[in-house]
Amino acid sequence: MAKARRKSAAKRRSTSKRKSAAKTLHKQRFPNESQAYRTAREWLLKAEMELRRKVEAVAALIGEIVAADVRRWSAIASLLLTGAAVAVAAARTVRTAVRLGAQADTAEVQSTMARTIYRDHLMCLAAVGTTVILQTIFA
């Protein structure tokens, strides 16, 4: 009976460890790693994965142009729109978001940065939405 309880408790502990590990993108922990560091690391990993997806989308559009799978003007327009969204994200949005996350500026400056990030996201949404429409209708 006691052995069964110990086995059950061990199973609950391993399940809870798996659940907490599932919340993160990686399992590796570093010595003296703070929660703030881990959170920032998670954010950077997510940003890297998003950038990789965007680069893959641009590469796919270039492949369509080279292979002539779609109308050339549609593929070029899609490439330009996607390239603009990636460029804005890489050049301005990420840098502004990192600065905003540091919370080193005044509330007024932080508010301005938040609005800038919002506008960048709206522009990227419009560019990606237009690309989806072009690819759906003219592909």
Confidence of residue 139 (pLDDT cuts 50, 70, 90): low
**What residues make up the domain containing 130?**
56-139
Largest CA distance in the chain: 73
pLDDT digits (tens, 9 = 90+) for 43-97: 777 877 887 887 787 777 777 767 776 677 877 888 888 888 888 888 888 888 8
In a domain, 8, yes or no: no
In a domain, 118, yes or no: yes
In the chain, the number of structural domains is 1
In a domain, 121, yes or no: yes
Confidence of residue 18 (pLDDT cuts 50, 70, 90): very low
As to burial, measured by CB atoms within 10 angstroms (0-12 exposed, 13-18 middle, 19+ buried), residue 42 is: middle
Tell me how many degrees the CA angle 9-29-8 measures, rounded to the nearest 5.
Answer: 5
In a domain, 66, yes or no: yes
User: Which sign, positive or negative, has the C-alpha torsion 24, 29, 34, 36?
Assistant: negative
Confidence of residue 17 (pLDDT cuts 50, 70, 90): very low
Q: Of 110, 86, 108, 107, whose CA–CA distance to 98 is shortest?
A: 110
Give the C-alpha distances (Å, rounded to integers) separating 16 from 6, 12, 53, 63, 96.
Answer: 15, 6, 31, 45, 36
Question: Quick one: pLDDT at residue 24?
Answer: 66
In a domain, 27, yes or no: no
In a domain, 68, yes or no: yes
Question: Quick one: pLDDT at residue 26?
Answer: 66
Report field, pTM of the whole predicted structure over 0.85: no
In a domain, 63, yes or no: yes
Angle (deg, nearest 10), helices 72-88 and 35-67: 160
Give the C-alpha distances (Å, rounded to integers) separating 87 from 1, 94, 120.
Answer: 63, 10, 11
Question: Quick one: pLDDT at residue 70?
Answer: 66
Q: Are 61 and 78 in contact (CB under 8 A)?
A: yes
Q: In the predicted model, is pLDDT for residue 7 greater than 80? A: no
Q: In the predicted model, is pLDDT for residue 23 greater than 60? A: yes
In a domain, 138, yes or no: yes
Question: Quick one: pLDDT at residue 3?
Answer: 53
Ramachandran class of 103: left when φ > 0, alpha when ψ lies in -120 to 50, beta otherwise: left
pLDDT digits (tens, 9 = 90+) for 116-130: 989 988 998 898 888
Confidence of residue 6 (pLDDT cuts 50, 70, 90): low
